[in-house]
Amino acid sequence: MAIVIAVGFSALGFAFDAIRGDELTIVFSIFYFAGCVAAVLAVQQRSLFTAAVQPPLILFAGIPLAYQLLVPESPGGLRTRIIDLVLPLVTRFPLMLLTVAVVLIIAGFRIFAGRVGTAPSSQYSRRTVSTRRREGSAVPASGRRVTDAPTEPRPPQPGGSGTDQP
């Protein structure tokens, strides 16, 4: 879900810029930033890692692909082609840095807020079985009732040694 949101917004920004000209503008940057922030806000707690690490990956894959599709092939060798593909990545590094910082702050806040909200309810499950037995409860963390060992001595088994132990 996080990938769909962020890539979808970025592709929408790319589409607007492709219609308007042959270069990625501030429109792409705004859609990229908004998509990454929307992704980290929209996903469930278990998908926060994906939403937090995807901004640089989207930019690293999307910018060369966008320029490959937008900009016509320039005459020259391989060196010129590589520079044409890498230069837009370098110029958008501040955008990537800002986006990653904001996304990590939001993800960190969501993780922290999620842990603080669940702390009181998990207090009971942290107690050990031995602690609950001392307090008079025989219910383990799993919620199943544990039966205590019989307190009466067992009758001697035929052919046994006569002790109470099996």
Contact 107, 78 (CB under 8 A): no
User: Model-level pTM?
Assistant: 0.66
Q: CA 26 to CA 29: how far, in whole Å? A: 5
Domain ranges of the chain: 2-118
Q: CA 55 to CA 95: how far, in whole Å? A: 10
Note the pLDDT tens digit of each residue in 137-155.
555 555 555 555 556 666 7
Higher pLDDT, 45 or 119: 45
% of residues, the chain, pLDDT over 90:
43
Q: What confidence score (pLDDT) does residue 35 get?
A: 96
Compute the half-sphere exposure of residue 32: CA atoms within 13 Å on the CB side of its CA: 28
